[in-house]
Structure 1
């Protein structure tokens, strides 16, 4: 089973999510909202995150089967940069689980224990792959109270996602076809790059994608 990131299974292990400083965001979910780019990524930021406007359309990847439905409105430049990096992480992990591609470059979008978990879970898939589509709504981009990063609150729609074994046979477990609440913690490296360092999920089907 896949675990430890945007995978087809529950998370492995227990994780404590950093407290959110909700006042720092002041952003509400807005379907199709355009977040102001405001500024380009920090010097040395990973090319995986890219630059330019952060919109549901620009952060989606139709070819991959990954659709961003909504993002918060009125993000400041740092929040925008963090959210761009988060979507780079999301697309990279789904590319790994859907196509078994990009494990060697995962360190550009993930770090720490989360990166270790991704590598561990990729090594034990036994050829299993997930199949799109997946959809996601991000509701909040908030600075943590300790000032060491940002937390992304989101809801992932996996209700139409399936899985196949190494021979291509469908082996989908209906229990994975859920709406999955997510909180991902983003930290900034010494090179200025924001990477996902922690991700936890809540009770299935307690969120919505809209």
Structure 2
């Protein structure tokens, strides 16, 4: 009798185990479906399109994670790139190659200063954020000019190519450096307080070649002066 019962249970167990394996295979993702009337037990069936879609999503997620990891590693290593220096409204298109550590610090401090001051003109707010990034005389001149032109806002994106970074007087007190850039402002639009477009294509919507002098004060490189070299001659 025990032999007959054991044989019967063994025969019953085999199809149940097969159903269990199929259910486990279909459990993780929507690559299996179970809504058909021909499938009253609700056992999932393989859907190749859903499986392919899941695979693409996994690949995209892995690529995004790898890109973020690479960017984080570069930043941690002190490496700067045009992507790491850019924002939505301030896009760095190129930087010099083979900058040493000191030149890289000058570059980063210059870009930070330039982004903050451009943001002041975009939003007409946050001028106090520029104070620690400029010498006292430059900040006072910037504040005076801002107070006369504070109404309104500026929209668009400025694109900047950094063409050179030089230490002009590294042993001076304070040390001095020079940064030259081409700033493409052709995408910018200026509005007055009433929302009227008051852009001047001859002064605002231009490409400007600029030389900026930076001095090292208080543990950072600050903007000390700015000189316009040409208009609509440089390229970004």
Structure 2 length normalisation: TM-score? 0.63
The question of 1:83 aligning with 2:107 is answered: yes
Deviation at 1:103, TM superposition (A): 0.9
CA contact (8 A) 1:115 1:197 kept: no
The answer to whether the Cα contact below 8 Å between 1:39 and 1:77 also exists between their aligned partners in 2 is no
SS at match of 1:171: coil
Secondary structure of the residue aligned to 1:156 is strand
Structure whose residues are more often helix by fraction: 2
Match of 2:165 in 1: 141
2:149 pairs with 1:125: yes
The correspondence of residues 25-174 of structure 1 with structure 2, limited to 5 A, is 52-62=78-88, 65-145=89-169, 147=172, 148-174=175-201
User: Distance between the aligned counterparts of 1:80 and 1:154, measured in 2?
Assistant: 15
Residues 76, 59 of structure 1: alpha-carbon distance in 2 compared, 3 angstrom cutoff? same
Q: 1:163 to 1:39 in 2, by over 3 A?
A: closer
Q: Deviations over 1:19-64 (max 9, x none)?
A: xxxxxxxxxxxxxxxxxxx999xxxxxxxxxx943211111111xx
Shift of 1:112: 3.3
The two structures, once aligned, show a CA RMSD in angstroms of 2.2
Which protein has the larger Cα radius of gyration, Structure 1 or Structure 2?
2
Q: Is the 8 A contact 1:185 1:196 kept in 2?
A: yes
**Contact 2:127 2:143 survives alignment (8 Å):** yes
Between the aligned partners of 2:115 and 2:220, the Cα distance in structure 1 is 16
Aligned to 1:201: 228
1:12 is matched with: none
- Unpaired segments ≥5 residues, structure 2: 1-73
**1:105 Cα shift?**
2.2
Structure 2: distance between partners of 1:39 and 1:152: 22
Identify the residue that residue 206 of structure 2 maps to in structure 1: 178
What residue is the counterpart of 2:33 in the other structure?
none
2:231 alignment partner, SS class: coil
SS in 2 for 1:72: coil
The aligned length equals: 160
Shift of 1:118: 1.1
Contact 2:169 2:177 in 1 (8 A): no
How many angstroms does 1:66 deviate by?
1.0
Of structures 1 and 2, the one with the larger relative CO (CA 8 A, separation 6+) is 1
Deviations 1:160-199 (A, max 9, x none): 111000111111111121110000011011x211111111
Runs of 4+ in 1 over 6 A off after TM superposition: none
